[in-house]
Structure formats: structure tokens, C-alpha cells
Structure 1
């Protein structure tokens, strides 16, 4: 594979060039109980940009706004050369129902807040962060399109939403002549492959670039957790202010997942790489993935993550990783892929399909 951060990729159905690994800025600031202080965050930013990286991901509420504020300071001298992605819809003020959600009031207020915090006149890529199942899609899309027409946002995207809603939104945008969605953020890793059922195929068909979050499954794929952690998980409070507690609260420590990690470690040893590099490289080799988002807290972690760009798997190694992490695609996918269904559709004919 042997990529570099300045081996840029087009994002979905746009002409926007982005690095193959995005720098996640949710670790910029310590307000959540973990993360990087300002000086350390600056080192992460500088290291990423010096290597040719240009794709930086944040959100209006990451570390209570510190993430955007720090990026606003760090990007003073090179704003034009960077692709800044932020998100809206998570609650910005506790107790204020309209400070969160996907509706127009939340959208415009959140964007204005992000522009101030990022110290910029425009946002390169704006994601709807969390689907709230309450706002008409026409309201969302028209609001996004208005912001694009005003020049405050250049491209729009979506994260954490059902595949059928995303495809519906894309169809509505196309029919109305509104700004199309160009990217989809989903959780995707060797441990979380549910996106392969509908979200990733949908993104391919509808022209959205896939930018996975948590490609290392909250650190589980780095190999730092063991079965001792699994046994002790019940005694760890989900709100004790550590990254480990968040991982446990999400249910990421299971026998299945630790079995996946064992194979990741085996492949890493064979390649002379770290487990984290193998986990990240697995997402990178998927042709449907544009740019996984990495969330390092120290320069050493970031250096290690960037090493994933240089990992080359053998066919056998990829097969082992795929096999240990495989999921059932469920109905109708498994049925349609069966020999019975193929016979009913094609009979004995051989039909070659190409993408």
C-alpha cells in the first residue's frame, strides 16, 4: 500500500482533496477527563501538518468547545491549506432544547458558534453529527444548502444516521438541486463491521466518501487491554473520567473482540509492526474507505498511527483478519448471496459484474 499523508484522495462526489488519514481533534483539550493539554495538542497538529496532512476533524461540542478554539489558534497561519471538518446537532447548552438537534435553529446557531471558535469565515466540511429522528429531511437539507450558498460552509456531510435516511436525503438533495452530501462518518473497524451491511454499500452507490471514526475501537485494537480487563470491567465506573471507562461503557471489551485482537497481534508480529498500525491499515485497504479518523493523545501515538500508511498485508494475512472479525450480513444480503438465490436469478448462466 505504502501511502503518505500527501497522497490525497477525492472526498465522495466532490473535487475536494483530503489526506488518507484525518486528524481527530476530540483529544484537543482535557475537559472530558482525558486528552491533550494545549502544548501537547499543538505538537500533534504540527506533526500531522508537517507530514502533509490536511484533513482535520472536530465538532462544536468536543471538549466543551476547547477543540475548536485550539484549532482556531493553531490554524491562524495556514487556514487556506487545511480542510476543517466540524459537526452540529449535539446539545451545546444543557437545559436549552434548541441548542441541540438537527433542526434549522440548531444548525445555524451551531455553525455561527463554530465559526467564532475556529476563528474562520467558513467551514470546509459540515457534518450532521447525530440523527435525532425528529426534523424533516427537507428542513435539514435546505438549511445546509442555505449555508453553502452564503459561503459559510463549502461541503455538507452526515454522521451516525440510518442508511435509508441518508440515501433518502441524497435523493431529495439531487431532485431539489440542493448541495449533496459528500461524506459519511460511521464507526468502522475490525471490531465494528456492521457498516458493511448497508451503510458502506449505500455510500458507494450515492457518492459519499466514508470517513470512519474509532478505527481502533476505542483503543481495543492497540492490544492494551487483556482478559484481566474484561474480568474487571464490571467494577469500572463508566463516568470515572478515563478513556478506559468510556471503552468499557460502550461494551467494546468482549471475548469476541479480544480474540480479534489476538490475530491482529499475530499479524503485527509477522510484519514487524504494532497492533495499532495493523488495525488502522485494515480500514485503509478497503477501497470504499476514504479517510479513517485517528485520535492520538501524544506525538508518540500519532507517529505510530501514521506508520499504518506503510503497512502491506499478504493475501493470507488479510484473509485471517477478515475471518476472525466476520459478521453475518443478515437478511436480505445473506439470502441474496446464497447459491439458491443465484440459481433462481441466473440459472446456470455466468454473469460477470464490475464496479
Structure 2
């Protein structure tokens, strides 16, 4: 396994996404794994050299955090594991921001059975709380030893730039990472976000690295998640015809290198970012992600994969934020 730095954190080049773990009866996904199956995958990832795990308070009503925390507790060696979790900004003004954020953090610490979180991430831009106030609160959490670094997800480049400029001016910790929607068939992060991050030394840890399985499967192939994940369909269904040529080129290069389509797709993405978030609901998904760190595509091959891309409208959370 190869490792890189996110702020002061030494993380594996693959981050195991834990959205697939949790009580399937709670939350928006029906395809998530029960605890024992989740634990097997988490243990397998640890034994494969993956030390970076990403979850969120919103995943399956917090049960994803519970499963991850319980598994790491059983495994031991908390100090060797990098845990990232995300808090959801408040939806109304009935509670002050400091009280709300403190409750979110303490609840995540309890569910994760840990005294600290390595990377604490704002799940999406908070339009209700001035960013100055948020940064002050998060900085206090760092001083208290409850978190080590802070990151952000689902934001625009100008928002990240504004936040980190304010942090620098006030002597506060800025965001060291951004978790956005980025993969071979959705490359809108390249317009501004990637360039800004490259120039400022901010790590990109994108989600949906395999486009919810679309970049891992041959055209026409299906899975339980592809059939049941209505949220993902909302992100990719409208552009499936224009994305098909890219997927076919992934398939072609996978055949050429005698590797899986996942390895080609992830190898391309790892050449662009610090550590993509890769979900796993089977042990072989972990193995494939690890193998992808060993595959190096030529510049011509990367250009071949990129060539058919056409601009996409924003989808999911970012489409809502753009309105």
C-alpha cells in the first residue's frame, strides 16, 4: 500500500468508504451490510494496508459510525487508524451553532467509541452559520484534542477559498481536504476545484470514485446496488448515453492490461487526487482497490479515457446548492 499526507495525517492512497455499512432498516439505503459482514470487510482492509476510513453521522442514522467504531475497537491499535467522519449542518436556527456542533461531535465520538476523530468534515456548506463562526468552533475542538484536522465536502471552490483565507487571517486551522463528486464520468471538479487544491496544497478525497459501480461493470451488467440505489440513479441516469463511450474505453484498457475495470478507473483517479473514497460491500472490492494502487496508466492511456468527456450539469447536493 502507498501512503500520502492529508495535513498532518499519514493516510493510505485508498480510503475505505463506509456508506455501505449500517442497519439497512435505518436510513436511505436498503443495500447496506449488517455488522458482522461490515466487520469482515473492515478487518480485511486493515490487513491489506488501508488505514483510512470515511463515514458520516448521516449514514444509516449513525449506524455506519457505530459499526466502524465497534470493528476498530475489536481490532485494536486505534492509533494506527485514520478515521474521518462528517457532520450535517443544522437545518434550522432553533439551536445555536456551538451547541449543535458540540452535540454532533460528541455523538459521533460516542458512536465511534473513540476519544478523537482524525479528520472531521463538514458534509456540505453550511448556509445558516457564518463560516467565521464555524471555523472558531472547529478550532476549539482541535485545541481540546477532540479532532486533529478539518475537511469539507460538497462545496464550491470559491467557498473553500473564502473559508481558508479567513482561517489564515484569524490564525485558525483551515480545511486540509475536500471531498467532492469526482470520477471518470463526472469531472466537473476539474473546472476550478482541482486547480485551486493543487495550487494550495489541499488534498482531494473524492466520493463516488467508481460512479456507484458504473465504472466497475461491463455495459449491461447489474448489481443489487445499481438496481436499488435511487440516489445514484438520480446522479447518473440522465447522462448514461454520453458516458457509455468512456465506460467502453475503461473496459478496453482493462482487457489490454488484464485487470478489472475498477483498477483502470481507480488508477486514473489516483493519478489526480490524494486518496479516493472507495466503497466496498464484498471482500473482493477491497482487493481490487488495493491492486489499483499498483497499476500505472500511461499519459496516452489517461488522455484516451478522458477524450470523450462532455460537460455535465451539477447533480445531487451540489445541484441543490447551485440554485
Flag whether TM exceeds 0.5 (same fold). Answer: yes
User: Matches of residues 105-116 of structure 1 in structure 2 within 5 Å?
Assistant: 105-116=99-110
How far the C-alpha of 1:136 sits from its partner, in A, is 0.7
- CA distance in structure 2 between the aligned counterparts of 1:264 and 1:308, rounded to whole angstroms: 13
CA distance in 1, matches of 2:279, 2:4: 20
Alpha-carbon distance in structure 1 between the residues aligned to 2:233 and 2:94 = 29
- Check the 8 A contact 1:280/1:308 in 2, yes or no: yes
Query: What does residue range 52-131 of structure 1 map to in structure 2 within 5 Å?
Result: 52-76=49-73, 77-89=76-88, 97=92, 103-131=97-125
RMSD: 2.3
Q: After TM superposition, which residue ranges in structure 1, 4 or more long, deviate above 6 angstroms?
A: none
- Partner of 1:290, secondary structure, is coil
The C-alpha deviation readout for 1:65-97, integer Å capped at 9, x for no partner, is 111111111111121111100011256xxxx73
1:205 & 1:296 partners in 2: Cα distance?
Answer: 32
Residue pair 1:9, 1:19 contacting (<8 A) in 2 also: yes
Q: Structure 1 90/171 Cα, relative in aligned 2: closer, same or farther at 3 Å? A: closer
Aligned to 1:249: 234
Contact 2:152 2:178 in 1 (8 A): yes
In structure 1, the gaps of 5 or more residues are: 230-239, 329-355
187-196 vs 250-259, which deviates more? 250-259
Alignment partners' CA distance in 2, 1:243 and 1:147: 38
Secondary structure at the counterpart of residue 10 of structure 1:
strand
In structure 2, the CA distance between the partners of 1:20 and 1:166, relative to structure 1 (3 Å rule), is: same
Which has the larger Rg? 1
Measure the CA separation in 1 of the matches of 2:307 and 2:140.
46
Structure 1 position 254, deviation (Å): 1.6
Aligned pairs, how many?
303
Matches within 5 A, 1:100-249: 103-226=97-220, 243-249=228-234
The C-alpha deviation readout for 1:218-255, integer Å capped at 9, x for no partner, is: 111112553x98xxxxxxxxxx9954433222234521
Q: Is the 8 A contact 1:99 1:106 kept in 2?
A: no
Q: Is residue 2:47 matched to residue 1:47?
A: no
CA distance in 2, matches of 1:225, 1:106: 45
Question: Structure 2: 5+ residue runs without aligned partners?
Answer: 313-323
Separation of aligned partners in 1, 2:304 and 2:13: 24
Question: Is it true that 1:314 corresponds to 2:278 in the alignment?
Answer: no
